Amino acid sequence: MYGIKNFSAIINPPQACILAVGGSENRLVPSENEKGFEVANMMSVTLSCDHRVVDGAVGAQWLAEFKKFLEKPTTMLL
């Protein structure tokens, strides 16, 4: 994605929210293996909401569900 890791999108009327998806990158994360770390492919996702239309808590719930679908795509078929 042109070297872009993360960004914030700006809402334009009449949009209620917009999702900004950054590129994926390999990162070291803590692990229980013998090395104590492993390489994980991670990406950044930012949801910008017009709080007159979308409550922030609802946006956070939506992002949590979106994260679950990205981590286990087969659950979208159920």
- Which residues are identified as catalytic? 51, 55
Closest CA relative to residue 23, chosen from 52, 49, 44: 44
Q: What is the 3-state secondary structure (H, E, C) of 23-36?
A: EEEEEEEECCCCCC
- Phi, psi dihedrals of residue 7, rounded to the nearest 5°: -165, 165
